[in-house]
A and B are shown apart, each in its own frame.
Chain A
């Protein structure tokens, strides 16, 4: 498979190295001559010191016989144009673009880029998993990430409201150990009945979280 990589930054550099190691034919276009020389010293003659946005140089680099063109420069507008030129001018079957502004994803897709990779979106996705939009709050990690202290704020609709706390089927590896009601922390007793507004404190392994959420928060809803 012949892959044309445009953009010799960190992503383009490691991508090219990996592709060569996997036995693919690769060409890497980098318009900054200094940077291109630097990479060429390391990974060899596959590096072309030309602007991959320019039609003439794309052709010289073999865009018309490429199986994949992947645009990984730091500029969204360049990545868009590289992929559109590849697709519509050189009939490249598959184009992959890196997108920095996640808002551009829809536009790129609409304009025919086959695959869109958004590092910003990916990191955002990871962070949002940890933000308590669904009322489960990570208070602290114990040890080396094996256990965590979690707070669940019981909102209307929580299946735990009105139940005896110790009757809840909490997952194995997890333990409820207290409730904060109206700002007052109290340990759970045999007869503690959970109420709306309670903050239930639990300790558990991270993998118990989903089950704990089901028990205390209920259905996933957009905050």
Chain B
């Protein structure tokens, strides 16, 4: 099983380590090489410095055809763009984008991208801990539709081997990544 993780923050590095130890083939990408200091020395996957929203970079890094594609940088929009690249151009089977703006998190779930919203995750967790009523949404947004193929350009125009598939299911993510600037 192949996993691509964009963004080597605490969550990205932690998941990379967990998946690596669980026997996945892991590729983790970050724009800053010092971010890889977060990976344990036992990490057996590939760590690559580069822009996870650049299709060429992702393709050269061997990100095509991943079973799992997680976009976990500190930028909501970068995550959303990377996840859509993952689905539409790189044929990822399963993708999830971190999106700390609840409005965007929900909107993209409607467009077929699974999202995880730290704002809601933490709000819910803290209210829950205090014994208060929790909001309707826990912070994990499963896609409510297939990822939209809204335009006329065929998926094949986006690159070789593009197989569009809607993201399905959710994983879990949380914790403390840096907030979006």
Contact = CB atoms under 8 A, between A and B. Distances in A.
A172 interface: no
Interface stretch (A74-82, A162-170, A191-199): A74-82
Contact of A88 (B77, B89, B107, B149): B107
B32 to A, nearest CB: 17
Given A55-B101, A88-B111, A107 B88 contact: yes
Interface string B150-166: 11110101100000000
Contacts of A107: 55, 84-85, 88-89, 158
Interface stretch (A38-46, A108-116, A151-159): A108-116
B54 interface: yes
A54 interface: yes
Interface in A38-81: 53-56, 75-78, 80-81
Given A55-B104, A85-B107, A107-B85, A77 B158 contact: no
A93 to B, nearest CB: 14
Contacts of A77: 53, 75, 77-78, 80-82
Nearest to A88: B111
Nearest to B157: A106
Contacts of A80: 77, 80-81, 84
A110 B111 contact: no
Contacts of B157: 106, 110
Interface in B16-41: none
A55 B151 contact: no
B92 to A, nearest CB: 14
Interface string B34-62: 00000000000000000001111000000
Contacts of B89: 107
Contacts of A76: 53, 81
Contacts of B107: 55, 84-85, 88-89
A103 B29 CA distance: 19
Contact of B104 (A54, A109, A110, A112): A54
Given A77-B53, A85-B104, A110-B157, 12 more contacts: A54-B103, A55-B104, A56-B101, A76-B53, A80-B84, A81-B76, A85-B107, A89-B103, A106-B158, A110-B88, A110-B155, A112-B151
23 contacts: A53-B77, A53-B104, A54-B103, A55-B103, A55-B104, A76-B53, A77-B53, A77-B81, A80-B77, A81-B76, A81-B77, A81-B80, A84-B80, A84-B108, A88-B107, A88-B110, A89-B107, A101-B54, A107-B89, A110-B150, A110-B157, A112-B150, A112-B151
Interface of A: 53-56, 75-78, 80-81, 84-85, 87-89, 101, 103-104, 106-107, 109-113
